[in-house]
Amino acid sequence: MNNKLLLAAMAAMLAAPASAEQFRVTSPNGLTYVDVQVANGRATYSAGYRQVTKAKKKGSAPDTTDVALLEASPLGLKSNIGDWTHDLQLKSHQRSAVRKNYELRQGKQAHISYSANALTLSLQAGRRHQFDIHFEVSDCNIAFRYHIPPQGQTAAIVVTEEATGFDLPAGTTAFICPQSDPMVGWMRTKPSYEENYIWDQPATTRSQYGHGWTFPCLFHEGDKGWVLISETGVGSDYCASHLSDATPDGLFTIAFPMQGENNGFGSTGAQMGLMTEKVSPNAQLAGCTPWRTITLGKTLKPIVETTVIWDVVDPLYEPSTNYKGSRNTWSWIIWQDPSINYKDQVAYIDLAAALGWEGCLIDGGWYQNIGREGMQKLFAYCKQKGVRPWVWYNSNGGWSDAPQCARNAMHNPIARKKEMKWLRDGGVAGIKVDFFAGDKQETMRLYEAILSDANDYGIQVIFHGCTLPRGWERMYPNYCGSEAVLASENLVFSQGFCDMEARHATLHPFVRNTVGAMEYGGTVLQKRLNRDPQKGNTRRTSDVFELATAIAFQSSGQNFALTPLNLTEQPAFELDFMRQVPTTWAETRFIDGYPGKYIVMARKASSEAKRPGAWYLIAMNAEATAKTLTITPSVLGADAAQTFTTLLHDGADGQKPQSSPLKLDKKGRITVTIQPQCAIVIF
C-alpha cells in the first residue's frame, strides 16, 4: 500500500461511524497484536508487533510503537445457505485466556507450553445466519478460524468460498511456491507441492500457473520484519486451501481447490456438518473451519521456531503403540527402479544393520518384481538383522495415471484393513503412500482414513506426491512426514537441481519445514548420482554440507540416500555421525541466516535418540563466496555448550571433509570460514 493509500485508510478509520466496533488482542508478552474491526457491515483485521525502545527519560517506562505487518484484511465466508462477508452485525464478544502443555513426539519441539489470549466475535449476517470468528494470539503468532453454529433446522452446509485475506504493504517480497495446474506432470500426478519457489521477488508477482501459491508462504517487509502464513487443523471435515495471487495492492485471499484436481472427482468446497446435540462432554455445537496461522516478527527467529501449527490442534486418536523415530536406508533414490528386487533389497537391509539404523524402505515396484512371497522372506530377513521394513504404496485412486502397486490396497477401505494386517504380521514399521494429486475434501478424508487404519495396526505413515501436512504430527500420532517439496529425487533427474541444491537446502528451514515434517530423502554422500559411481549427475555440495542436512531437515521418519558404497568410500567419522544422528528432537533454535543464502541453527536430541539431550549445531553456506561466521555455542545455554566436543568441517578448498576436536576462544566462540556449498557441524 503506497503512502497515499495508507493515509486514505487511516482517514477512513478515523472517520468510521460511531457504530464501528474495534477490538485489540495482544499476546501474553504484550508484543504481538491483532486489531479486529466490524464496521459498515464488514469484518476486517490487521496485525503486527509492538517495538520497545529505550525510555527517553531515566526512570520512565520504555516507549512502544506499533509495527504493522498486515494491513486491514477481510474476514468472512460464503456458503450455500448464507453469505457471511457483508451486512454483518456484531451480536457479542468474549475474551479468554488459553493455556495448555503438551508433548509432541515427532516435531521440532518435544515439550511445549502454549499460552495465548483469545477473542471470539459472534456476528450475524442479515436477520438470520450467525457465525463466530475466533482469534488466539500467542507470542509472535496469530491463529484464527470460523465457528458456524446450528442454523435452525439446517444441520449441514457447504462452504463455497472464503473472503479471508492477508493484505501486505507495498515493497514486500516473497519466498513462495506456485500452485500447479491440475492433472499435469509425470503421469498426471499434480498438484503435489513440487514446484520451484520464487526467491525474494515482489509479493505481487503473478504465479507461474495463475492459480496462486501453496502454503506456507514467507514474506519479507524489509527492516520491519517477516511474516509466515499457513493453515492447520485440516482433516476429513474440510478441504485444504492455498493463497490466491495478490492484487496490485498486495491482498492475498484464501483459495479453494480447483475443479480439475483429482481428475475432477469431488467438490471444490467443504461440506460441514453442524452438530445439533452433544455426543461427548467436549463436543462443540458447531462446525469449524481450519485455522489460518500467521507468524511474525522483526527477525526470522519466530519463523523458524514457531509451533503454532500444533498449538491450536488436538490429537484425534490415541497411539496404539509406542511409536519411535526411524532412520531408513532407501535403494531407489540412487539405484532407482531396477533396484526393487530381492537381492538389492537384501543389500540395503544389510546396510541399515551395518549403520545401526531402524529401518529399510522397499519402494514402488515390489508387488511386480518381488511379490508377496518374496516380501515375506524379506520381512523375515529384516527381523533376523534387527531392521524393520517400510513399504511403498500407490494411493490407488482413479485420479492419475501413476503405475499401480498392490492395486486398491490403500484406496479401498476393506482391502486397506486386510493389507494393514498383513503388514503388521510381517513386522512392518511403516508405509510410504504416494500420488494423491489434489487438496479436495475427498482427498483429505483419504489421508485421514489411511492414518487411522494404520494406527489400528501399529503402523506409521509417510506421504509422498502429496499435500502439505497441516498440524498432522499432533492430530495423528502415527504420522511421520510428507514430501510436499521439490525433493532429493530431482538430484538424480537434473544436473541443474544439483547445482541449486545448496540454495534449496538453506531455504526450507525458513519456509516448508517450519510448519510440518519434510521427508526430503537427503544426505547424499556419493559424488555421482548413479549406481555406477562413474555416471550420473554430479553433486556440488560438500560431504559435511550433506551431513548438515540431516539436522536441517526435520522428519521423524528419514529415508537417507546412503548406498552400500559409502561403507568403504566415506571417512569413518562421517559414518559414525550418521550412526548416531537423531530424527526426533526436544528443541529447535535459530541462530542466524537468510533464506536461500545461509543458515545457522541447532537442535537438541530427544530422549529416544542415541545421545539423548545432546545438541547439534550446523552452519550451511549456499552463497557464491566464502562466508566467515563467529558462533557462540553458549547462546543455546550452558548445558548445550557442555555437550559439544566435535567439529566437522571441510578443507580450505571445500573438498576434504575433516573431524577435529572443538576449540573455542577465551570468550567461548568459534570463528569459521565456510566455502560455497560447504558447512560445519558441531556436536
Parse the chain into domains and list their residue ranges.
20-52+63-311, 326-579
Quick check: 198 pLDDT over 70? yes
Q: Which grid coordinates belong to 260?
A: 480439475
Q: Rounded to the nearest 5°, which phi and psi values hold at 527?
A: -75, -40
Query: Which alpha helices (H) appear in 209-327, and where do they start and end?
Result: 301-305, 308-311
For 305-357, the pLDDT digits (tens) are: 999 999 999 999 999 999 999 999 999 999 999 999 999 999 999 999 999 99
Four-point Cα dihedral 97, 98, 101, 106, nearest 10: -150
Q: Which grid coordinates belong to 438?
A: 489434489
Q: Write down the mean pLDDT value for the chain.
A: 93
For 27-58, the pLDDT digits (tens) are: 999 999 999 999 999 999 999 999 988 767 77
> What CATH number should be reported for the domain whose range is 326-579?
3.20.20.70
DSSP bridge pairs for 646: 661
Q: Residue 518: its pLDDT value, please?
A: 98
Radius of gyration of the chain (CA): 25
Q: What is the distance between the alpha carbons of residues 304 and 570, in angstroms, rounded to a whole number? A: 32
- Output DSSP code: residue 151: B
Architecture of the 20-52+63-311 domain: Distorted Sandwich (2.70)
* pLDDT tier at 643, thresholds 50, 70, 90: confident
Quick check: 3 pLDDT over 70? no
Quick check: 615 pLDDT over 50? yes
Quick check: 81 pLDDT over 90? no
Q: Which grid coordinates belong to 79?
A: 456458503
For 232-247, the pLDDT digits (tens) are: 999 999 999 999 999 9
Contact 355, 329 (CB under 8 A): yes
Q: What is the pTM of this model?
A: 0.94
Per-residue pLDDT averaged across 565-572, rounded? 97
Q: Which grid coordinates belong to 595?
A: 533464506
Per-residue pLDDT averaged across 127-132, rounded? 85
Strands 430-434 and 388-394: parallel
Quick check: 19 pLDDT over 70? no
Q: Which grid coordinates belong to 377?
A: 522372506
